[in-house]
Structure 1
Amino acid sequence: MSNTIIESNFSFPNQKSVYKGKVRAVYNINDKELVMIATDRLSAFDVVMPKGIPYKGQILNQIATSMMKATQDLVPNWLTAIPDPNVAVGHICEPFKVEMVIRAYMSGHAAREYKAGRRILCGVPMPEGLKENDKFPEPIITPATKAEMGDHDEDISREDIIKKHTVSEEDYIVLEDYTRKLFQRGTEIAASRGLILVDTKYEFGKTRDGKIVLIDEIHTPDSSRYFYTEGYQERQDNNEAQKQLSKEFVRQWLIANNFQGLDGQTVPEMSDAYIKTVSDRYIELYENIMGEAFVKADVSDIQNRIEGNVLSYLGH
């Protein structure tokens, strides 16, 4: 699809390095700021799908930057400018090597662990007598080590993070505090839009002057799980699956087509018709999460649009 950005091979003035993740490319400009480009790549089961999803990068970038603005009174973040619908610019940071996962409901990975008979997740006890998608008495923080591209993130306890000096105890206390504050605000924003913020992950970094700030994406359908508030309790009472907003629908399609990222498995062919349904679903997610209509950016020449907007921002 010509109207998507899959590869990000820009060369900006004063560019020192570029890091390419599963979905984003991050350009270091003069060791002072980072230009983060959200591509239209789709990752599931830690595998990047061969085709891009139109508008996905714009959707993720606009949700993340909007949510950062909506939480900056609580937690400082890295963001300084949004020169293009797919681009965020911010302070250069040293990322912490943990993802702060917080869960208010026993869903996803937590539910799979629970089903396997485990009642401790990342050193945190889970009460007996819960069924999938029940609410925890209090949200629990279940950190994960941040994997390199292609590797799986791994659960880790607070105690191990501190013991292994992955994060100092002093800094980790701040990360926990920020995580709970962000999740509370995210829960309130979701509730105002008829949604339940089930679980999410936050990533943090430290600026050159030692300030801990929120980085990467926040409250997007790729980093969070949402349920619809309406009908939630009825579905639980009837032991029915919850209606959710996340990229879980892509995972389910892949599973149905015999792919879970395991050795020897081949990514199923995604037809243009299926890709359009995924794009439409992401737009639906945007409009539900943001509570506003999605405005499509001009994608007739997306590479040149992004390059031009970033160069203009950089003063070239």
Structure 2
Amino acid sequence: MPGHIESITLYIPDEYQSLNELVPSLELTPLDVRMFSRFYGLARFPRAPGSLDDLFRPLMSQFTARHEPLLPDIRYVVHTHTLPAVKPFPDSISALLPEYGFRHDIEFCSLTMGHCSSSLTAVDWLSRKLKAGEYALLLIGEKAFHPRVELIADTTIMGECACAVLISNPEGRGNVLGRFTTQAGEFNRQSGHASDCSPRFSDHYFPFILRALHAALNHFDVTPETLSWLAPHNVNISSWNKILGEIDLPKNKVLLENISKYGHCFGADPFINLLTLLQQERVQSGDKILLASVGMGATFSSLLIQADSSHPIAVIAI
């Protein structure tokens, strides 16, 4: 049962750390710096001082100010994050909700097992739970609080942001046309420890994502010619250039410019890129946009949405 993305609210901190500033804490070599900057296109990374609550408070203030009349109709709130646990559960993001006027009996949960792709799966899952007239709120965001979290070796460096996606289930067709997810179970153990004997996902990443993208296009019955935009996860420019060469998708249909601005912001990347496309008015009514992300584990998830000028997605960037 496809749903509808009503709005995207995004908070990106004003504070940034440059690649050079991260060299000591991440123990980057000069070769690492050249690789991340010249080939991967990474330059700076938003980093908010304080706690996870401090990251979410500006987002929640802006979201509730814009959507106050709808708060009684928000039935579900889901926080998706890459790490299995970001706070002790009694102190989860749900503890913030009463401060901002959400109903006392709202249902809250976390989704994590798709890691950075969990946010895309959550849109479909929430859409199926909603009844007519109800809304759900998807919250995305976590802290890059430790070098093991900040860095995916030879791949990317993490940024921080908080994102809220308001979802409804209209009686007619929503702008979410469907979801496609696939997994490679042999990579289900990714502890980050050097002693981990599971296969190295990085050695199999390209075949996996190529198969997944081809399968997604077939599932949605779209082609590189009929697809208007790909809003991907912001891992690095080099990997996407290699992937695009294999699926014959023109580079001007893929939003990659945010990689150098923000790095890889966990599960928020596809929504950051979708918001950018909408803000810059690069989307026309009827355009089909594929949101895609890969999470360690390994899970590929994607959403196909279609722009509709009669019911546009509201965007709020702080």
TM tier, shorter chain?
Answer: under 0.3
TM-score, with length taken from structure 1? 0.25
Q: Comparing both structures, which one devotes a greater share of its residues to helix?
A: 2
User: Radius of gyration: which is bigger?
Assistant: 1
